[in-house]
Amino acid sequence: MAEIADRYDPSIVESRWYREWEERGLFGADPASPKPPYCIVIPPPNVTGSLHWGHALNNTLQDILIRYKRMDGYNALWVPGTDHASIAVHVLLERQLAAEGKTRHDIGREAFLECAWKWKEESGGTIIRQLKRLGASCDWSRERFTMDPGLSRAVRETFVRLFEEGLIYQDDYIVNWCPSCQTVLSDLEVEREERDTDFVYIKYGPLTLGTVRPETKLGDTAVAVHPKDKRYAKYVGKTLEVPSVEGTITLRVIADSAVDPKFGTGVIKVTPGHDPIDFEIGRRHNLSTRTVIGFDGRMTAEAGKYAGLDRFEARKRIVEDMQQLGLIERIEPYRHSVGLCYRSKTVVEPLISRQWYVNVKPLAEVATKAVRGRRIKILPRPWVKTYYHWMENIRPWCISRQLWWGHRIPAWYCDADGSVHVSRTDLTECPKCGGPLRRDPDVLDTWFSSGLWPFSTLGWPDDTPDLRTFYPTNVLITGPDIIFFWVARMAMLGLHLMDEVPFRDVYLHAIVRDAEGQKMSKSKGNVADPVVVMERYGTDAFRFTLAALAGLGRDIRISDERIEGYRNFANKIWNAARLVLSNLDGFDRALAAKGKPSVADRWIGSRLHATTAAVRKALDAYRFNDAAAALYQFLWNEFCDWYLEIAKRSLYQTEDSIARAVTQRTLVETLEATLRLLHPFMPFISEEIWQRLPHEGPSRPEAARSIMIAAFPKAGRKGRDATAEREMAPVIAVVSAIRTVRSESRILPAAELEVTVRPSPATAKTLKAAAPLIGGLARARVRIAPGAERPPLSAHVVESGVDVFVHLQGVVDVTAERARLGKEIDKARKEIAFLAGKLSRPDFVERAPADVVARERERLGEQQQIEAKLTQSLAGLA
């Protein structure tokens, strides 16, 4: 046996295995496989991205599931890929150009797109490399990019089909315009932020009204009040001549129920060109529109003397002017929310423009039904309500963007006859008049293509073997922040285009926060690089930490201490393996077959089965933290702390070569199965150790290739050994009891104790057989004596009916021992008082289930015994 380092060094191991797995083609899936399919499509990270904590968590969880299912006999496919991130990349490139003093218009569309592709080629691989670093077992032969030719064809097909169905249309409507990005945004792309502002009360002739946007006054085409508002009834229908900043203007007074009579003065100015509500009011009342703010965020020629001013500058100036004219009644401080562009954080300007929309209402109804009918299950449950709420209040989805990087809209305009043509193939002349055509310059919302991801990556619109085999996918794992952007759109488009749900389960994981609970963000500067963390603690430790923290539905806070703890866990496993491997010399399975497993052997086997069942159950329910806890607990507290210590006796001390072989076999088999159980969580260390273990049996050459394709342990009912568990319990209890006495009575660990154990009838046989074992584990000479009397000067502990007497003669300070006993007696008396009180209440005794009452009685009896014994012991010390 070669020397193995006593500290686990992940760096060496990790770099080797990933390459090995990839070269052996272990990540690939085959649609022709007879195994049942299991498929996950990765939430495609942005090409510009680099791995952050959210990705790390997200992809670790996916990899755990994929590895689990792959081992468990499924034809497991994890489809990787990246997203072109239209607006994000576009904005980034424009910033780069701006640094050179240029705009995109200076270099032109073609050159701009070249830059974008170059950028994609250069930085698009970063995140993929980092995913590999994380151990992600994606099928890289199926890697996709949202602007691949195939996926672009899917986008085009979708657009044309929805257009033909009348679900995609153009409309002149009030939109969210970002003056900085120079594009329209969907409602979802507008973030809200609370800001302090001035609430300006302006006199409109006989009326006064409040506004936070005085500059839009220039675009007013009416004044509105609530129809039932008696205060203003007399003005409704009248036309007012009101003095304003540029002389007198005339405004109609209209009644509309959109006005809240209780807010402000109950009067609003109506500016259909620059406010969504006013736009709606304008449509209802046939009001004209005045556009006073342009796409550049500056006042237009319509704004008269304010033309050319920035909108915020104009706001200041107009207030000053009105103050001079005495048109301002008062100004109050006010806090309200403003809309910001999610990319540039610029204040969004509502403007009227012609855009493409998807009428998502009918799609949303189907997508809602799919969740109601549990064809899609969303976890954690509370998100279901959020999903319904959004779906039920859904508004048309604005899909066109005035950007260059993205899927160009397949629509052509004929200026000669004014016709619009949407086509699967590029058009060169007008199909109606043969005249020249102009292609729509805009591109699609980046989420339009990602909405097709679960089937476009599998080959749609073609009917491919992949698509037939792997759609619908089994589960989508993503963060709740993109439930509307992405999850909802996939549900709608998948159901519409494929007539089947895109995924059966949706698992929305927690948001990763730092140790202080701050959301990790670049602007806060609290983002540690996960790659650095992986390098410091090892990828396995990092992955295990994420899994251990991934409780259902909660933010998770991550700290170095926690990761360090699981780094230690990895080291613990390493050393357990070291112990096993260094004691396998001469291991002979045939010899082992001649012997009978000991109670401890059967016990650890039973515990392993219990752990297997727990891990499976937890993973099937996406309770990753439960699975991690079960593994941690079993490996450390049962396998290392108890079984290995027991096994050492057989390995080091016994003359019995058969017993030794049996122990060796248990060690190998338990460790081997545990590693398979652990592999989805800690792929590297599990493979490294597994490869060093002896593998035998008929399927050896195939099975020993990699733990990745070894079978995930099964949890059959027969695996549990209730007898062994029942027999080990008193052994563990007695050892612990002796150790506690040793520690509390300040007896040196090296001192060998004299112990008398008086077993209960049920434990007599077991304890008798286990006496040498107990003695070895507790460093004591143990005498099992049914009916023994308490020896003089001894400590007495009762553990589940077993009396443990530790002889203190000559090893202990009697005064300290007396004090300790006094405390113990107090404790027992308190417990007796509590239980006796409970049991003397007739309501409890009569109404609680019999077993509950019986248990409490039993506890009372135990405590009374303990109290009596302790009192006796104390007397013995006198």
Partner RNA sequence: GGACGAUUAGCUCAGUUGGCAGAGCACCGGCCUCACAUGCCGGGGGUCACUGGUUCAAGUCCAGUAUCGUCCACCA
Which of the residues 314 through 343 are near RNA (CB under 7 A)?
A: 336-337
Candidates 2-10, 246-254, 460-468, 782-790: pick the segment binding RNA (CB under 7 A).
Answer: 2-10
Q: Which of 125, 382, 434, 822 binds RNA (CB under 7 A)?
A: 382
Residue 479: phi, psi to the nearest 5?
-85, 150
Q: Does 660 bind RNA (CB under 7 A)?
A: no
Return the range that interacts with RNA (CB under 7 A); candidates 156-164, 378-386, 423-431, 599-607: 378-386
CB of 28 to RNA, least distance (A): 34
- Contact characters 442-461, RNA, x per CB under 7 A: --------------------
Which token pair is 131? 């995913």
Applying CB under 7 A, does 644 fall inside the site for RNA? Answer: yes
Q: Could you tell me which stretch among 83-91, 127-135, 238-246, 551-559 binds RNA (CB under 7 A)?
A: 551-559
- Cβ-contact 499, 53 below 8 angstroms: no
Residue 355 tokens, joined: 């855009």
The nearest distance, CB 229 to RNA, in angstroms, is 10
Residue 581 beta carbon to RNA: minimum distance, rounded to whole angstroms: 9
By the rule CB under 7 A, 743 interacts with RNA = yes
Q: Which helix (H) or strand (E) holds 194?
A: strand 190-204
- Closer by beta carbon to RNA, 213 or else 407: 213
**Which residue, 555 or 696, is less far from RNA as judged by CB?**
555
Distance between CA 653 and CA 536 in Å, rounded?
Answer: 40
Decide whether 117 or 334 has the Cβ nearer to RNA: 334
Q: Does 419 bind RNA (CB under 7 A)?
A: no
Contacts of 249 (CB under 8 A, 6+ apart): 220, 241, 242
Name residue 357's beta-bridge partners. 169, 398
Please report whether residue 857 would count as binding RNA according to CB under 7 A: no
With CB under 7 A as the contact rule, the residue among 258, 527, 816, 836 that binds RNA is 258
Q: Which is nearer to RNA, 554 or 768 (CB)?
A: 554
Nearer to RNA, 180 or 575 (CB): 575
* 725 counts as binding RNA under rule CB under 7 A: no
Sole residue written with tokens 């699967």: 424
User: Considering only residues 463-482, where is the footprint of RNA by CB under 7 A?
Assistant: 480-481
Identified binder of RNA from the candidate list 152, 386, 419, 657, rule CB under 7 A: 386
Q: How far apart are CA 587 and CA 694, in angstroms?
A: 10
Q: Across-strand partners of 353?
A: 173
Span of 89-97, 645-653, 698-706, 754-762 interacting with RNA by CB under 7 A: 645-653
Q: Which 185-214 positions form the footprint of RNA (CB under 7 A)? A: 187-188, 192, 209-213
- The residue range among 288-296, 397-405, 643-651, 668-676 that interacts with RNA, by the rule CB under 7 A, is 643-651
Q: Is the CB of residue 52 less than 8 Å from the CB of residue 111? A: no
> Please, which residue, 41 or 738, has the CB nearer to RNA?
738
Q: Could you tell me which stretch among 89-97, 471-479, 511-519, 602-610 binds RNA (CB under 7 A)? A: 511-519
Nearest distance, CB of residue 825 and RNA, angstroms? 14
Note whether 492 and 364 are within 8 A (CB): yes
d(CA 754, CA 807): 5
Binding-site member from 331, 531, 629, 839 for RNA (CB under 7 A): 629
Considering the rule CB under 7 A, would residue 553 count as an interface residue with RNA?
Answer: yes
**Binding of RNA by 266 (CB under 7 A):** yes
Tell me: does residue 524 bind RNA (CB under 7 A).
no
Of 6, 241, 585, 789, the one binding RNA (CB under 7 A) is 6
Residue 802 binds to RNA (criterion: CB under 7 A): no
In the complex, least distance from residue 306 CB atom to RNA, rounded to whole angstroms: 18
- Please report whether residue 308 would count as binding RNA according to CB under 7 A: no
Would you say 707 and 661 are in contact if contact means Cβ atoms under 8 Å apart?
no
Instruction: Give the side-chain half-sphere CA count within 13 A for 261.
Output: 12
DSSP-assigned letters across all residues of 568-582: HHHHHHHHHHHHHHT
Q: To the nearest whole angstrom, how small is the minimum distance from the Cβ of residue 758 to RNA?
A: 20
Distance CA 756, CA 762 (A): 17
Angle, vertex CA 622, rays to CA 619 and CA 628, nearest 5: 55
CB of 165 to RNA, least distance (A): 25
Query: C-beta of 93: minimal distance to RNA in Å?
Result: 26
- Could you tell me which of 825, 785, 800, 797 has the C-alpha nearest to residue 740? 797
* 571: contact with RNA by CB under 7 A: yes
Q: 806: helix, coil or strand?
A: strand
Binding to RNA (CB under 7 A): which residues in 594-623?
623
User: Considering the complex, what minimum distance in angstroms separates the CB of residue 153 from RNA?
Assistant: 31
Q: State the residue for tokens 């609003």.
A: 268
Closest to 541 (Cα-Cα) out of 558, 564, 561: 564
Place of tokens 């995140």: 127
Beta-carbon count within 10 A of 436 CB: 13
- What is the C-alpha to C-alpha distance for residues 482 and 7, in angstroms, rounded to an integer? 41
Angstrom distance (rounded) from CA 65 to CA 138: 12
279 φ/ψ sector (left φ>0, alpha ψ -120 to 50, else beta): alpha
Stretch 815-844 residues interacting with RNA (CB under 7 A): 841, 843-844
| Contact pattern for RNA over residues 158 through 187, marking x by CB under 7 A | -----------------------------x
Examine residue 217 and tell whether it contacts RNA (CB under 7 A).
no
Minimum distance, C-beta of residue 31 to RNA, in the bound complex (Å): 35
Q: How far is CA 435 from CA 422, 687, 716, in A?
A: 16, 67, 74
Burial (CB count <10 Å: 0-12, 13-18, 19+), residue 464: middle
What whole-number distance in Å separates Cα of residue 245 and Cα of residue 218? 9
Task: Give least dist CB 218 to RNA, A.
Answer: 14
Task: Pull the structure tokens for residue 643.
Answer: 């079984």
- Beta 183-185 vs 190-204: how paired, if at all? unpaired
| Residue 11 binds to RNA (criterion: CB under 7 A) | no
233 binds RNA (CB under 7 A): no
Question: Is 801 a residue that touches RNA (CB under 7 A)?
Answer: no
**Chain length of the chain:** 878
The answer to whether 255 contacts RNA (rule: CB under 7 A) is no
Residue closer to RNA, measured from CB, 748 or 875: 748
In this chain, which of 227, 276, 308, 595 binds RNA, going by CB under 7 A?
276
Does the protein bind RNA through residue 726 (CB under 7 A)? no
- Rule CB under 7 A: choose which of 50, 464, 740, 865 binds RNA: 740
If binding is defined by CB under 7 A, does position 7 make contact with RNA?
Answer: yes
**Dihedral, CA atoms, 428, 432, 437, 441, nearest 10 degrees?**
-100
Query: Are 353 and 175 within 8 A, CB to CB?
Result: yes
Number of residues that bind RNA (CB under 7 A): 90
Q: Which of 220, 626, 721, 727 binds RNA (CB under 7 A)?
A: 626
Residue 442 CB, nearest distance to RNA (Å)?
A: 23
> Which residues, 479 to 498, sit near RNA by CB under 7 A?
480-481, 484
Query: Which residues from 577-596 bind RNA, rule CB under 7 A?
Result: 578-579, 582
**749 binding RNA? (CB under 7 A):** yes
Give the separation between CA 427 and CA 412, rounded to whole angstroms. Answer: 7
Residue 728 and residue 773 in contact, taking contact as beta carbons nearer than 8 Å: no
Give strand pairing partners of 358: 168, 397
Site for RNA in 106-125 (CB under 7 A): none
Count of alpha carbons within 13 angstroms of residue 670, beta-carbon side: 32
Residue span binding RNA (CB under 7 A) among the ranges 71-79, 408-416, 552-560, 761-769: 552-560
Work out the burial of residue 32: count CB atoms within 10 Å of its CB; fewer than 13 is exposed, 13-18 middle, 19 or more buried: exposed
Phi, psi torsion values for 567, nearest 5 degrees: -65, -45
Collapsing DSSP to helix, strand or coil, 135 comes out as coil
